[in-house]
Structure 1
Amino acid sequence: MKIAVLGATGPTGLQFVLEALKNEHEVFALVRNPEGLSSVTNDKLKVKEVDILKEEDLVETFKNTDAVVSCLGCRPSFLGWSPITFYLDSIKPIVNAMRTANKKRLICMSSWGTVSTPEEPRIIKYFLRPIFLSSTLKSMSDMEDYLKDSCSDIDYTVVRPPGLTNDPSSEKEIKAEEGQCIPDIVGRIPRRDVAKFMLECAISHDWNKKCVAIGLET
């Protein structure tokens, strides 16, 4: 399978690249700084420097791939002092480039709790959301709404993980449910496990046009 990856130099994106290469897929990493992947050597990896916010930088690579995977992210804004619009701003040129390239399969990552619900963990409701994540989660929610409301022609899957760690893969079965979170489950997950789930979605077309929360059993 040929997969275009955005955010490939980020901590989760790098794990996705490594997981895809391990499974012998061809990876086209579209990055701002190619040096971020200088330590990864593989004949199936092609790295291209692009401006991810410019549709014209993405189209040609998308034409030669079977799926687009976005692990793009940005730093949270303390107390929401600096409004974040990155997730919505970045998904629009990605979708437009996919349309121009006549491609439909998109996997992207957001988070548990993009919209507050009664069952969300207390640490999100009373600590992370008000202090660190209010603006980030709002931008993720705007991205999800854009996909749901304006992208009926795109076969998207939004993957919502809980807190991310840099631990090795747990090698456990990943639980998945449509919704904002999975109650009574571990609130942290290794990035490599997230990468594995996203790769499985790209291959299988499971969770088409869904926003799916994932996590690990205790």
Structure 2
Amino acid sequence: MKRLVVLGATGPSGQEVVKQALSAGHHVTAVVRNPDKLDSVQNENLKVIKADVFSAKDLSEHFRGQEVVMSCLGNRDRAPVTLYTESMKAIVAAMRETGLTRLICITSWCTESRPGNPWLIEWVIKPLFIGKTVANMAEMEHYLFDTCQDINFTIVRPPGLGTGPVSDSPILTHEGMHVPGAPGGRMNRADVARFMLSLLDTSEWDRKAVAVQTGPKR
């Protein structure tokens, strides 16, 4: 069992990671802005901490003694976005201060425009809805690849996120901006959390960005 610190633990994706991690027997430190939002989750292996995700000093205090950092931080504002880059700089600084090296985080399909990207994402969804958010996600990815050779990160790129229970469907993967040939539509956050936690037991996606999508039901 691992000692995990989860950032963004009160968001929809973060809550799924916390619940599934606890169910699997992991020890979880949830770093949040509002601890009241996790009142419904009661477990002897859960520790809820209020901290500033933009402060390396704050984070360092709670990273000590942990094994893996899992960032589920997300942005819901269409204003200029710096959440991903600024929080990641603080996270990495705190990891270096405390000797942590393993990081798992979430971005999105198509953080950069590439030939073959789904046209709906490139021509409708990004321009109208999530362009600024995705641009900052891309900046964060570049920061990790270009300046964090000492961090063993995995960037998980899901498509649009939906609600629903965890499934037993296979999770399709591709080292790229999207999963070619994968079914369209959303991926349940519960299945994204399932994949993120599966990374604790493999080195296959170390220092890589992996696009994911659930495959056909078994």
TM-score, length-normalised on structure 1?
0.95
| Aligned mate of 2:101, from 88, 91, 104 | 104
- Counterpart in the other structure of 1:202: 200
Aligned partner letter, 1:72? L
Instruction: Using the TM superposition, give the Cα deviation of residue 76 of structure 1 relative to its aligned residue in structure 2, in angstroms.
Output: 4.5
Instruction: Using the TM superposition, give the Cα deviation of residue 200 of structure 1 relative to its aligned residue in structure 2, in angstroms.
Output: 1.1
| Aligned mate of 1:91, from 88, 93, 96 | 88
Question: Contact conserved, 2:191 with 2:214, CA < 8 A, in 1?
Answer: no
SS in 2 for 1:106: strand
- Counterpart in the other structure of 2:153: 156
RMSD after superposition: 1.0
- Counterpart in the other structure of 1:60: 61
Q: Work out the CA distance in 2 between the residues paired with 1:195 and 1:45.
A: 17
Aligned partner letter, 1:47? V
Once the two structures are superposed, residues 23-81 of structure 1 have per-residue CA deviations (whole angstroms, 9 ceiling, x without a partner) of 0000000111000100000000000110111111111221111100000001141xxxx
Aligned partner letter, 1:35? D
Question: Contact conserved, 2:107 with 2:137, CA < 8 A, in 1?
Answer: yes
Q: Work out the CA distance in 1 between the residues paired with 2:28 and 2:214.
A: 27
Question: Contact conserved, 1:83 with 1:135, CA < 8 A, in 2?
Answer: yes
Question: Contact conserved, 1:107 with 1:202, CA < 8 A, in 2?
Answer: no
Percent identity between the aligned chains?
44
Matches within 5 A, 1:129-168: 129-168=126-165
Aligned partner letter, 2:48? V
Question: Contact conserved, 1:68 with 1:107, CA < 8 A, in 2?
Answer: yes
Q: Work out the CA distance in 2 between the residues paired with 1:167 and 1:69.
A: 21
Matches within 5 A, 1:1-218: 1-77=2-78, 82-187=79-184, 188-218=186-216
Once the two structures are superposed, residues 68-95 of structure 1 have per-residue CA deviations (whole angstroms, 9 ceiling, x without a partner) of 0000001141xxxx22111101100000
Q: Work out the CA distance in 2 between the residues paired with 1:117 and 1:169.
A: 31
TM-score, length-normalised on structure 2?
0.95
How many residues are aligned here? 214
Q: Which runs of 5+ in 2 are unaligned?
A: none
Once the two structures are superposed, residues 122-145 of structure 1 have per-residue CA deviations (whole angstroms, 9 ceiling, x without a partner) of 220111111011111100000000
Question: Contact conserved, 2:154 with 2:205, CA < 8 A, in 1?
Answer: yes
Q: Work out the CA distance in 2 between the residues paired with 1:205 and 1:24.
A: 21
Once the two structures are superposed, residues 162-194 of structure 1 have per-residue CA deviations (whole angstroms, 9 ceiling, x without a partner) of 111011122111111100001221231110100
Instruction: Using the TM superposition, give the Cα deviation of residue 119 of structure 1 relative to its aligned residue in structure 2, in angstroms.
Output: 1.5
Q: Work out the CA distance in 2 between the residues paired with 1:190 and 1:63.
A: 32
SS in 1 for 2:44: coil
Q: Work out the CA distance in 2 between the residues paired with 1:65 and 1:205.
A: 18
